[in-house]
Amino acid sequence: MKFDDEPVPGYSLPILPGHVSPGRLERVLRAGKFAVTSEIDPPDSADPEEVLKRAAIFDGYVDAINATDGSGANCHMSSVGVCSLLTRVGYAMVMQIACRDRNRIAIQGEILGGAAMGVANIMCLTGDGVQAGDHPQAKPVFDLDSMSLLELARMMRDESRFQSGRKLALPPRVFLGAAENPFAPPYEWRPHRLAKKIAAGAQFIQTQYCFDVPRLKTFMAQVRDLGLLEGPDRVFIMAGVGPLASAKSATWIRENVPGVHIPDSVIKRLAGAEKQKAEGKKLCIDLIQEIREIEGVSGVHVMAYRQETTVAEIIETSGVLDGRTPWYPGRDTKTEKESLEA
């Protein structure tokens, strides 16, 4: 099965039988390949070249790129803006939509706008509270939450209508994602919450950072026992990973970033290393290789905030791509040129 072929950027791939989108990420996952995604650090700028430069860091190493939507409730270039720039040159994008800043009217418009410009993947998030960001005086919206956003997006796609009942001339053909955190208590509740997200429409999941492999193994066993990885409505789970810069930064993250669990053993490993940043990369590679062996895990989502240049090395060294090269602008032309030169 061909799952990563690509026509001229801007033109959709055909939707394969059993698929809901023309996107490469869905093709990779449904073909049983171990998928890799990452996320772009959106600039505090209106410069389009800055976005293209940041995306190029991932060329040949990721199957899709997340465009974050005001993560941490901080202002940056918008998710839809980043997607607009990158879909036009052919990148596979995951457009994040947070419920914090828009009501259902604006959100439905963004789903259609994203799909129209080639976005095939939408990540449905509730969003961080405004008090966490750089505009704590902002008025939060939260007209929807991640569950109701999933239901709304699925209805638009599958029933071809707005929530108001008004018909759509052409529905958005999108693969729907959500977030999950297996590493935050109550642990027993997490698989059941995931089941609710799947029932609402989630087809792929990107988890919070995983630094605790035994806890992820337990979560995945519970997910398998619930039958969430089987059948036509199965979910694809991608574990979140990322390099830590030092024991000090790991301690700060653990104490200040809600939902991130970093075991003492990880901090001890970093603290005992002569070069802590290099050890942080090695730790990430080790985690990816361990996670890959867990039954039911379909990929990894690499979050390397302010360390994006390490992603290629981490993925290359981990070996999880099994020799394949995810599509990027110019990949096929480059391959043909290399063949001729050889």
**Tell me, what DSSP letter sits at residue 37?**
E
CA distance 328 to 342: 22
- Tens-digit pLDDT string for the chain (342 aa): 455 666 556 567 899 999 999 999 999 999 999 999 999 989 999 999 999 999 999 999 999 999 999 988 899 999 999 999 999 999 999 999 999 999 999 999 999 999 999 999 999 999 998 998 899 999 999 999 999 999 999 999 999 999 999 999 999 999 999 999 999 999 999 999 999 999 999 999 999 999 999 999 999 999 999 999 998 889 999 999 999 999 999 999 999 888 899 999 999 999 999 999 999 999 999 999 999 999 999 999 999 988 999 999 999 999 999 999 999 998 887 655 565 565
For the residues of 39-84, what is the DSSP string, one character each? EE---SS--HHHHHHHHHTTTTT-SEEEE-SSGGG---S-HHHHHH
Q: Give the pLDDT confidence score for residue 106 in this predicted structure.
A: 98
59, 83, 49: which is closest to 309 by C-alpha?
59
CA distance 62 to 39: 10
Other beta carbons within 10 Å of 263: 16
193, 196, 242, 200: which is closest to 219 by C-alpha?
193
Task: List own/partner pairs for 306-310 with CB under 8 A and 24 or more apart.
Answer: 306/41, 307/242, 307/243, 307/245, 308/38, 308/40, 308/41, 308/54, 308/57, 308/58, 309/57, 310/243, 310/281
Q: Work out the burial of residue 272: count CB atoms within 10 Å of its CB; fewer than 13 is exposed, 13-18 middle, 19 or more buried.
A: exposed
Q: Give the pLDDT confidence score for residue 86 in this predicted structure.
A: 97
Contact yes or no for 201/154 (Cβ under 8 A): yes
CA distances from 121 to 17, 93, 249, 282, 339 (A): 17, 6, 32, 30, 33
Q: Give the pLDDT confidence score for residue 73 in this predicted structure.
A: 87
CA distance 248 to 254: 10
Name the fold adopted by 24-341. Answer: TIM Barrel (3.20.20)
Q: What is the model's pTM?
A: 0.94
19, 18, 2, 17: which is closest to 174 by C-alpha?
19
Q: Give the pLDDT confidence score for residue 335 in this predicted structure.
A: 58
CA distances from 193 to 44, 46, 185, 186, 202 (A): 35, 38, 12, 11, 12
CA distance 310 to 129: 30
Q: Where exactly are the structural domains of the chain?
A: 24-341
CA distance 166 to 45: 37
- Please work out, in degrees rounded to the nearest 5, the angle formed at the alpha carbon of residue 217 by the alpha carbons of 214 and 219: 110
Would you state the structure tokens that stand for residue 104, as one six-digit string? 């259902």
CA distance 198 to 216: 18
Q: Give the pLDDT confidence score for residue 1 in this predicted structure.
A: 46
Q: Give the pLDDT confidence score for residue 11 in this predicted structure.
A: 63
Contact yes or no for 155/101 (Cβ under 8 A): no
Give the H or E element holding residue 328.
none
